[in-house]
Amino acid sequence: NFMLTQPHSVSESPEKTVTISCTRNSGSIANNYVQWYQQRPGSAPTIVIYEGTQRPSGVPDRFSGSIDTSSNSASLTISGLKTEDEADYYCQSYDNNIVVFGGGTKLTV
Amino acid sequence: EVQLVQSGAEVRKPGESLEISCKASGYRFTDYWIGWVRQMPGKGLEWMGSISPRDSNTRYSTRYSPSFQGQVTISVDKSVTTAYLQWSSLKASDTAMYYCARLQGGLMTQFAYWGQGTVVTVSS
């Protein structure tokens, strides 16, 4: 099975832009969709990006997703950072009927 | 409105059995897979397995992570639109928060809706 690797933590100031990466170690990142979940302290995860680039209704357009096949990675970009964006973020994908989560990234705003 | 309401916190001793539940409402239960996700204290999310309520009695209805195969059992009761996660013999290392989550379609889709989580504590 494959793994998804994320940076342990990132930090940025309010109103700035931050990008969180998610690198797949085997198989192409483009073979299967990547999702991103936000988990605030003490709360269940919620989805913020699905199918690589799609935003569920209710998620601000400050959140965007992308795929880079050259680095075999997916990215979550949050622009106009707000203090409420401070949370853990997890990427997730799948292959051969196996679901894999990345290790998570703690975002400090 | 889609809702997943999980059963309350549990405290058990090592070796004991346990079943926690996830009551689904607000959609056609048999149309969407449901999965279970573990989060150990201070750690990340781990997929345990997922089940198709439509085909719950067939060979291919349930998929487990290799890490959890044989360690837990996932099942559903369509009559009460509820999914279950069961242990036959708990270990201290099973202490964690457990989330159920509804997929947006089949197994290879996103976890669109999440339950509030069930804390399981295993201690002698």
Contacts of residue A21, Cβ cutoff 8 Å, sequence gap at least 6:
A6, A7, A71, A73, A74, A75
pLDDT recorded at residue B60: 64
Q: Residue A42 above 70 pLDDT?
A: yes
pLDDT tens sequence across B67-116? 999 999 999 999 999 999 999 999 999 999 999 999 998 888 999 999 99
Please state the separation of Cα B28 from the chain's center in Å: 18
Cα separation, A21 vs B116, whole angstroms: 27
Give the B window 72-111 contacts with A, CB below 8 Å.
99, 101, 104, 107-108, 110-111
Is pLDDT of B59 > 80?
A: no
Summarize pLDDT for A56-96 with one digit per residue, the tens.
999 999 999 999 999 999 999 999 999 999 999 999 999 89
- Which 8-state DSSP code applies to residue A83? G
Contacts of B66 in chain A (CB under 8 A): 1, 98
**Both structure tokens of A35:** 């999702």
**Chain A CB within 8 Å of residue B36 CB:** no
Q: What percent of chain B has pLDDT over 70?
A: 98
Q: How crowded is residue B57: how many other Cβ atoms within 10 Å of its Cβ?
A: 9
Under 8 Å between Cβ of A63 and A49: yes
How many of the other CB atoms lie within 10 Å of CB of A57? 4
Q: What does the CA dihedral B108, B30, B4, B70 come to, rounded to 10 degrees?
A: -60
